[in-house]
Structure formats: C-alpha cells, structure tokens
Amino acid sequence: MDSEERRRRLRELEEGREALLDRVAERADEYLSWLVEFASIPSISATGEGVRECAQHLRDRIRSIGLDPELLETGAHPIVWASAGEHERKLLVYGHYDVVPPGDEAEWPFPPFEPTVHDGSLWGRGVGDSKGQMLAHLCALSAWLDVFGELPPFQINFMFDGEDEIGCADTSAYIREHVERFRADFLYTSDASTLGVWEPALFLGIRGALYVELEARGADIEWHSGSYGSILPNPVTRMAQAIATMVDEHGRVAIEGFFDDVAPIAEELRAFARRLPPEFLPGAEAFGIAAFERDDPVESMFFEPRMCVCGIEGGYTGEGLKMAVPTSATAKIDFALLLGQRPSRVAELLRAHLDAHGFADISITVLSDAPPSGVASDHRLVATARAALESVWGRPPVVIPSIGGGGVFATFVDAVGLDCLLVPYAQPDMQEHSAQEHLSLEWFVNGVKTSAELYRRLSIAALGDAEEGAE
C-alpha cells in the first residue's frame, strides 16, 4: 500500500465512526437472532453434549461473514479458528463457546436452551457466558465489512475454545504444541461481567489459581463409633485439624513462605481500587452476613493472596443416625495468587506445611493451576480499549485491578508471551452459571459497537505506524 492509499484509508477510517456504529444498530435484531440460534445449541463441555454441533454451527456462522474458518482438533473439544487478513501486526481475539450444565431446569424462568427475550435481556444458558460476548467480536467484523468493504489493515485471529468451563487442559496443550499459530501483538477477550459496576469496565489482570483436593484416610471399613470412635483415626477430624493449621485467627494464610514471592503492588493499582464506585462492593448485609472477614475487603480482594475452603466431605451426613467412624475425608481448596507467585511453588509449600505439622498422611491432588497475569495500565491495547469503551458508552470505563480466574490465559502468557486484556461486555447481574443467566440487550449491542470501534482505532494506529515507517 503506497502513501497516498494509506492516507485515503486513514481519512475513511477517521470519518467512518458514525457510519460503523450506525450499521451495528441497524443490524442489532439480526445479530440477536444469531445469538438466539447459537445459544440454542447446548455445548456442555462437562458432558460433551452438543459441543461439536455448536463448533460446526460457529464455523458456518464465521464462514457466512466471509472468512475461512477451521476446526483445530485438540483431542477433546475443538478450537474454532479463523483469520481475517494477513499482516505482521496481529490481534488475537479469544472466546469460548462451551457452557456449564444447566442444573435443575425447574429453577429456570425459561428453558435454558430456548433463549428468551424478557425485560430487556436474553435469558438462557450461555447467552452471557460467553456466547453473546464472543459473538460480539464477529458481529463487529460483519458490520465493519458492510461499511468499509475490506478487512482491517491488521490481522485478526479469532480463537474460540470448547473447554473453558472444564479447565482448558487440552486447549492449553494444543497451544503449547503450536505456539507459532498463536503469536500476536496482544490478546483481547470479553468474558465474565463487570462485577458490581453498572458501567463499562475492564480488568488489568487475572489472579492466579491453585485448586487442590486433600484426602485423609482412616480404616478400610466403617466401625461403630460407640465402640471404636476413640481408638480409630477419624479422617474428618484430621482434615479439620489440618486445615486449621493453614490459616491464622484472622483467616490469613499461615503456610510458611506463602507470601514470600508476592511482587510489590503498584500504587497505581491501589489508586484504581480506591476509585471504584461504592456499588462495586456493597455492605456486608447485602451478602446476608454481619461483617466481612477483613476490615478493608476491597484491599483484600485485589491485593491479598488467600485460600478458600470450597468444600469438605466425609462420613455420614444423611437423615437420622448412623454411628460410624468415617473411612475418609476430602477437602477442595482454592488458592488465589498474585503476580510473582507460582502455583507449583505454592503446592510445594502446602506439602511442606502439612508434613511439618504432622499431616504427612494427607494426600494432595492438584486439580487446576494457573499463574497470575497482568497488563500495565499504559499498555497500548489498554489505552485503545478504554478509548473505544468511552466512545461507545459516552463515559470513561472503570478500571478494575484484577479478577479471579485462571484458565487458558496463563498459557497464553507463559507459552506465547502474550499480553492479555479482559473487557467484559456483560452487565454485573448476568448471573453466569446460575439458572438466572441473562445478557442485557443494551450491553450486547454496545459490546458489538465496542469491538467495532476497537478495530477502527487499531486500524488507524496500524496505518499511522506504516505511514511513519514509510517516511
């Protein structure tokens, strides 16, 4: 592309904002119909129900807007992949088309896989987590092609995952085996919600996660507790005692060395946290409790690594009496980690802690792990995303320091070296994973507009850089 052509395209892009956003609005009902059709296919990764059918539907939808998609076989649920254009500057857009099981369908206001418009939102499993949010990126490109008639002057690689809700083990392995395919300048994804913020928002980081299962064993079979309760080891009691050594009286992690690797917290991040609106975290009474565990819960949420006992199981808990010594007990524990911490190191510290406190017999199984990741607030993509959100919503977005998660983003950071930015397109009461899951139609359309505006601004930057290089 010569200088004159670049200048022409720059003028077209700079003057095309209103036409692009208007085109999204004109096609909003059509895009909603795409989402309804998409979300009608179950795609439950935990069971496999509908997953391949959904991947094939998504592939066909991408083909309908003019791209040449493919299914990347991971050995489990396929990745749906498509590239828009060829250029040395690349944006990787990530999303996931799999969903969690619907649970008890009697609890749903509408059938979970019959998406229904009600009270300004679309209700159904996966409409917000994350089919509507990932579809927004494709709708934006479709509107882009309507207005400008050609692909953006940078390459967009779309990667839609089929196992986000089950830990991404096969997806992560595939990425590590095919690193070059996933090289890009940065990764952009829309998932989750804006938590308690009824404003456009973005997250600068994703907290790391280590999810483990502990198991304590007792006798091979149950014995009457009236006779044997004081002489046989009780794995339930032992599990409770072990967990009690892992936290102090204030609920802070008491595992030796746990905090040693935490990187210093940037003052800028604390400033973002202080500027969060009051509704981000309402008072304790809103959660049905008398008080939070911390005097400064926002500080703890973002800047304190911690552990949460997600569940303990063992012995008899049914109706009536059963006087028996339990044979085993298990506990599932989630560690939320900050930058600098590594899940593998935390697992080692946990093992050493249990051994040192007399619980060498308790086994540890790592069920999921992901290191933390973060992007600087002055990163070029962050600045562009903030400008795109403000352009669409008419007000600046809230910057949230981080969100709990893990998953495949750690693989992108570790294996590919990507900077990752999470910009949710769903309102805070989306209620993902519940029977009340719903996506605001306003937020869905504004999500499409935000992606379209992001493409426009990235295109202007790409052409501007090319013009400077030519000079």
pLDDT in tens, 369-426: 888 989 999 999 999 999 999 999 999 999 999 998 767 888 998 899 999 999 999 9
How confident is the model over 141-187, as pLDDT tens digits? Answer: 999 999 999 999 999 999 999 999 998 999 999 999 999 999 999 99
pLDDT at 453 over 70: yes
Beta-carbon contacts of 304 under 8 Å, excluding residues fewer than 6 positions away, are 252, 294, 338
Structure tokens at 440: 């605001």
Taking a C-beta distance cutoff of 8 angstroms, is the pair 426, 298 a contact? no
The predicted structure's pLDDT at residue 410: 84
Q: Give the pLDDT band (50/70/90) at residue 354.
A: very high
**CA–CA distance, 214 with 38 (Å, rounded to integer):** 39
Beta-carbon contacts of 217 under 8 Å, excluding residues fewer than 6 positions away, are 235, 327, 328, 361
Coil vs helix vs strand at 299: helix
**C-alpha gyration radius of the chain:** 25
Is the pTM for the entire model greater than 0.95? no
Q: Which amino acid is at 140?
A: A
- Return the closest-CA partner of residue 454 out of 402, 399, 380, 401: 380
- Return the closest-CA partner of residue 424 out of 168, 200, 269, 131: 200
Strand 438-440 to 121-123 pairing? antiparallel
- Return the closest-CA partner of residue 51 out of 184, 175, 165: 165
Taking a C-beta distance cutoff of 8 angstroms, is the pair 49, 172 a contact? no
Coil vs helix vs strand at 400: strand
Structure tokens at 293: 């565990």
In sequence order, what are the beta bridge partners of 161? 96
- Return the closest-CA partner of residue 31 out of 140, 162, 145: 140
Residue located via tokens 């899940």:
343
**CA–CA distance, 8 with 404 (Å, rounded to integer):** 44
Burial of 6 (0-12, 13-18, 19+ CB in 10 A): middle
Q: Give the pLDDT band (50/70/90) at residue 3.
A: confident
Class of domain 3-204+375-470: alpha beta
The predicted structure's pLDDT at residue 86: 86
- What are the start-end ranges of the H helices in 394-440? 409-411
What are the sequence ranges of the domains in the chain?
A: 3-204+375-470, 209-262+305-370
In sequence order, what are the beta bridge partners of 295? none
Q: Which amino acid is at 57?
A: H
**CA–CA distance, 369 with 334 (Å, rounded to integer):** 10
How confident is the model over 110-133, as pLDDT tens digits? Answer: 999 999 999 999 999 999 999 999
Q: Does residue 85 come out as left (phi exceeding 0), alpha (psi in the -120 to 50 range) or beta?
A: left
**CA–CA distance, 53 with 43 (Å, rounded to integer):** 8
Longest dimension (CA), the chain: 93
Structure tokens at 86: 């060829």
The correct answer on CATH 3.30.70.360 for the domain covering 209-262+305-370 is yes
The predicted structure's pLDDT at residue 36: 98
Supply the mean pLDDT for the chain: 95
Determine phi and psi for 429, rounding to 5 degrees. Answer: -100, 30
How confident is the model over 277-321, as pLDDT tens digits? Answer: 988 999 999 999 999 999 999 999 999 999 999 999 999 999 999
